[in-house]
């Protein structure tokens, strides 16, 4: 039997239990998306098995680490602890790379020269890069524990959040729970009718059919007649027209399900499985106060081993070591050099491909072959938490088919008075290309305009915003490595292999692209292999 859950059973006149379960999985919607995520390397389980035990470094051995993102700092920390002399060159004036938080008082200049001054209120922030930590990303969570980074819950799925399409339901946003309950209930009713009508063949026994009916009744909130209708069962999932209360007038008023055809045609059901994908399942976490708490913790540990504002312009290796030429990123023109026996290079491929480096053709081809995803995030500050006060949305994500894609509500500071920041846009694909071509002010304006179709309070409550398009971030020039299966087959092994005294690390050198966990696991693999080579080289010497 094929492993592709999109392929229905052949019409042979029978349906096995396994085929039936596959069909129910199809109806649930998440299987197809999970299959796609797995094939692209987004749903792989973490390979982290614990901190490395490298043993002692050869006497006097040195390593040059290029980039103080998560991969570079993991590599530098563990190599230094093993006794290597370590120096790190970082383009930015801060640690973390794409692990980045913007707060009030920050200034950011993108490629093209547009400069933004962040006007967020104290305690408010936006993470332009990573913004959540899945519970099964054991590597990055272990470093958070080791470095004392405090974590709090990140709300991924909020049943009271909104799903929106400009055409569906006249453009009126629907609560996530409403679409989920109606879509799930209507599918359950169809399957129940098929079961009661004898449409299932003999291999599904009468006992199985009774169990299936009972499970469908509960799963789909069907009534005693196995119908999905307005009543206690459905309203306990989709919500009431008027909630139960106290006193003589406390009886609830039942809401009525949306029409099945309207639910299907809306396409809003496509958003439902997002919280069921492996990397999005609860529990998710975030560092208290911003994702850069992780970067700052690493930075404190490494101290002056990191040289900031060091823009690498050339990388040369010979039989005895590696030399990197760099300039002050804020005042170029006076090149300096750093040299070591070995080099762990974590510079994003989108930037590394523009830096002269004498490596073999296989690695050079791999560096040049991997495109980077485009993405834009917009942080919007409002005068008050109207999403909590007016609409009772505490954390979580609303989705829209408009280009802004996502509205993410803060998972901290609930019911606090005063100004607050939400994620007003998380743009991908061709929409990101269009946002990339806009000025920051235009991106912010689009986020406010489109967001107002979900929250009409936007125009009146908007205060200020920040917009980051990743293809315009000087140190990254893209969001993350956009692997395909064919690119992995052709280039992945060559990208990860040692070339002389140089090894690459970062999310791009992992099966967990776009995640900090990928950076951690890639770095640990790289330094383990580097240490083996260094020890072997020292023994031969």
pLDDT tens digits for 181-212? Answer: 999 999 988 888 887 777 665 566 778 778 88
Last-in-domain residue among 472, 492, 508: 472
Mean pLDDT rounded to a whole number for the chain = 89
Sequence-distant (≥ 6) Cβ neighbours of residue 440 within 8 angstroms: 110, 114, 116, 466, 467
Asked if the model's pLDDT at residue 16 lies above 70, the reply is: no
Task: Return the CA Rg of the chain.
Answer: 26
Query: How far is 92 from 151, CA to CA, in rounded Å?
Result: 25
pLDDT in tens, 115-133: 999 999 999 999 999 999 9
Sheet with 310-317, side-by-side order of all strands: 310-317, 322-328, 336-340
DSSP state of 459: H
Q: Is residue 234 domain-resident?
A: yes
Predicted confidence at residue 249, as pLDDT, reads: 80
Distance of CA 494 to the CA centre of its chain: 26
Yes or no: say if 531 and 508 are a contact pair by the CB < 8 Å rule. no
Q: Are residues 365 and 380 in the same domain?
A: no
CB of 502 closer than 8 Å to CB of 345? yes
Burial of 376 (0-12, 13-18, 19+ CB in 10 A): buried
Average pLDDT on 399-418 reads: 97
DSSP 3-state of 539: helix
Number of domains in the chain: 4
Structure confidence by residue, pLDDT tens digits, 481-540: 999 989 999 999 999 999 999 999 999 999 999 999 999 999 999 999 999 999 998 766
- Residues 397, 249, single domain; the answer is no
47, part of any domain? no
Q: Over the stretch 287-344, which tens digit does the pLDDT of each residue have?
A: 999 999 999 999 999 999 999 999 999 999 999 999 999 999 988 889 999 999 999 9
Residue 223 belongs to a domain: yes
Is residue 216 very low, low, confident or very high in pLDDT (cuts 50, 70, 90)? confident
With beta carbons less than 8 A apart as the criterion, state whether 165 and 265 touch.
Answer: no
Q: Do 145 and 23 share a structural domain? A: no
Q: Say if 300 falls within a structural domain.
A: no
CB of 387 closer than 8 Å to CB of 422 = yes
Quote the pLDDT of residue 204.
66
Whether residues 362 and 379 share a domain: the answer is no
- Whether 242 has a pLDDT exceeding 60, the answer reads yes
Residues 189 and 252 in one domain: yes
CB-based contact 320:314 (threshold 8 Å):
no
Percent of the chain scoring above 90 in pLDDT: 76
| Domain-embedded: residue 151 | yes
Q: What is the DSSP letter of 39?
A: H
Q: What pLDDT score does 192 carry? A: 87
The HSE-up count of residue 312 (CA atoms within 13 Å, CB side) is 30
pLDDT of residue 35: 35
Residues in the chain: 541
Contacts 24+ apart (CB under 8 A), 49-57: 50/142, 51/78, 51/142, 51/146, 52/78, 52/524, 52/527, 52/528, 54/78, 54/79, 54/82, 54/527, 54/528, 54/531, 55/82, 55/531, 55/535, 56/82, 56/83, 57/82, 57/83, 57/84, 57/531, 57/534
Phi, psi angle pair for 74, to nearest 5° = -60, -45
Q: 164 near 300, Cβ under 8 Å?
A: no
What are the φ and ψ backbone dihedral angles of 432, each rounded to 5 degrees? -65, -35
Label the pairing between strands 306-307 and 85-89.
parallel
Same domain, 180 and 144: no
Q: What is the DSSP string of 65-120?
A: EE--BHHHHHHHHHHHHTT-EEEEE-SSSSSBTT---EETT-EEE-TTS-EEE--P
Which has the higher per-residue pLDDT, 50 or 10? 50
Task: Tell me, yes or no, whether 381 and 516 share the same domain.
Answer: no
The DSSP result for 136-185, as a single string, is: T-HHHHHHHHHHT--EEEE----TTSEEE-SSGGGG--EEHHHHHHHHHH
465 and 502 share a domain?
Answer: no
CATH number of residue 398's parent domain: 3.90.660.10
* The pair of three-digit structure tokens given for residue 403, joined into one six-digit string: 């280009």
Burial pattern 427-453, b for ≥16 Cβ within 10 A else e, equals bbeebbeebbebebeebbbbbbebbeb
Q: Please give the residue range of the domain that contains residue 140.
A: 102-160+373-472
Rounded Cα–Cα distance for residues 72 and 89 (Å): 9
Conformation bin of residue 295: beta by default, left when phi > 0, alpha when psi is -120 to 50: alpha
| C-alpha 197: how far from chain center | 44
Whether residues 217 and 248 fall in one domain: yes
- Asked whether residue 362 falls in the same domain as residue 498, the answer is yes
Contact 467, 445 (CB under 8 A): no
Q: Is the peptide bond before 283 cis (omega within 30 degrees of 0)?
A: yes
Q: Residue 344 sits in a domain of what CATH number?
A: 3.50.50.60
81: in domain: no
Q: What is the pTM of this model?
A: 0.87
Longest dimension (CA), the chain: 91
Last residue of a domain, one of 446, 472, 498: 472
Residue 262: both structure tokens together: 């309207």
Q: Give the mean model confidence (pLDDT) for residues 366-376.
A: 97
Contact 463, 124 (CB under 8 A): no
* Confidence at residue 12, expressed as pLDDT on a 0 to 100 scale: 38
What is the band of 431 on the pLDDT scale with cuts at 50, 70, 90? Answer: very high
Which of 444, 472, 500 is at the close of a domain? Answer: 472
**In this structure, are residues 309 and 332 in contact, taking their beta carbons and an 8 Å threshold?**
no
Residue 256 has what pLDDT? Answer: 94
Task: Tell whether 382 and 358 lie within a shared domain.
Answer: no
CATH code of residue 227: 1.20.1440.240
Q: What is the pLDDT of residue 308?
A: 98
Residue 336 has a pLDDT of: 97
How big is the CA angle at 485 (ends 481 and 487), to the nearest 5 degrees? Answer: 60
Instruction: Say what the pLDDT of residue 443 is.
Output: 98
The string of DSSP letters for 343-368 reads EEE---HHHHTTS-B---HHHHHHHH
Instruction: Tell whether 378 and 463 lie within a shared domain.
Output: yes
* Phi-psi group of 203: left, alpha or beta (phi > 0 → left; psi -120 to 50 → alpha; rest → beta): alpha
Domain contains 45: no
Report if residue 272 sits inside a domain. Answer: no
HSE on the CB side for 422, CA within 13 Å?
29
Between 430 and 41, the more confident residue is: 430
């Amino acid at each position: 039997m094929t492993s592709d859950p999109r392929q229905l059973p052949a019409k042979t006149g029978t349906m096995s239990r396994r085929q039936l379960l596959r069909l129910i999985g199809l109806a649930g919607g998440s299987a197809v998306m999970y299959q796609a995520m797995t094939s692209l390397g987004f749903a792989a389980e973490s390979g982290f098995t614990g901190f490395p035990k490298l043993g002692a470094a050869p006497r006097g051995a040195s390593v040059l680490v290029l980039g103080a993102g998560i991969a570079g700092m993991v590599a530098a920390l563990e190599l230094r602890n093993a006794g290597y002399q370590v120096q790190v060159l970082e383009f930015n004036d801060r640690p973390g790379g794409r692990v980045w938080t913007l707060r009030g008082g920050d200034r950011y200049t993108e490629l093209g020269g547009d400069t933004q001054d962040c006007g967020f209120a104290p305690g408010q922030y936006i993470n332009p890069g990573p913004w959540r930590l899945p519970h099964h990303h054991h590597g990055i969570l272990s470093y958070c524990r080791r470095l004392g980074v405090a974590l709090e819950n990140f709300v991924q799925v909020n049943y009271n959040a909104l799903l929106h399409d400009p055409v569906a339901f006249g453009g009126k946003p629907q609560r996530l729970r409403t679409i989920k309950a109606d879509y799930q209930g209507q599918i359950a009713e169809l399957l129940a009718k098929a079961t009661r009508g004898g449409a299932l063949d003999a291999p599904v026994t009468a006992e199985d059919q009774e169990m299936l009916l009972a499970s469908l009744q509960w799963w789909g909130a069907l009534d005693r007649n196995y119908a999905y209708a307005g009543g206690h069962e459905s309203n306990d999932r989709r919500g009431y027209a008027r909630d139960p209360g106290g006193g003589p007038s406390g009886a609830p008023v039942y809401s009525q399900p949306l029409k099945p055809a309207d639910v299907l045609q809306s396409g809003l059901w496509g958003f439902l499985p997002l919280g069921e994908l492996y990397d999005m399942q609860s529990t998710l976490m975030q560092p208290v106060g911003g994702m850069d708490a992780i970067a700052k913790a690493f930075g404190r540990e490494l101290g002056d081993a990191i040289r900031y504002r060091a823009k690498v312009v050339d990388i040369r290796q010979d039989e005895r070591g590696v030399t990197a030429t760099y300039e002050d990123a804020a005042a170029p023109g006076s090149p300096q050099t750093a040299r070591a026996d070995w080099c762990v290079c974590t510079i994003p491929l989108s930037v590394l491909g523009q830096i002269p480096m004498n490596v073999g053709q296989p690695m050079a081809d791999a560096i040049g072959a991997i495109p980077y995803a485009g993405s834009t995030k917009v942080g919007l500050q409002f005068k008050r938490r109207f999403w909590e006060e007016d609409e009772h949305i505490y954390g979580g994500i609303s989705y829209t088919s408009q280009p802004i894609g996502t509205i993410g509500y803060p998972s901290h500071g609930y019911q606090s008075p005063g100004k607050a920041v939400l994620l007003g846009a998380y743009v991908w694909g061709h929409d990101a290309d269009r946002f990339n071509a806009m000025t920051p002010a235009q991106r912010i304006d689009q986020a406010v305009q489109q967001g107002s179709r979900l929250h009409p309070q936007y125009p009146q409550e908007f205060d200020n915003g920040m917009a980051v398009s990743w293809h315009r971030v000087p140190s990254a020039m893209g969001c993350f490595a956009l692997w395909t299966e064919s690119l992995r087959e052709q280039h992945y092994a060559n990208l990860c292999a040692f070339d002389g005294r140089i090894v690459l690390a970062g999310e791009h050198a992992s099966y967990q692209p776009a995640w900090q966990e990928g950076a951690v696991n890639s770095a640990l693999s790289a330094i383990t292999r580097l240490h083996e080579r260094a020890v072997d080289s020292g023994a031969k010497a």
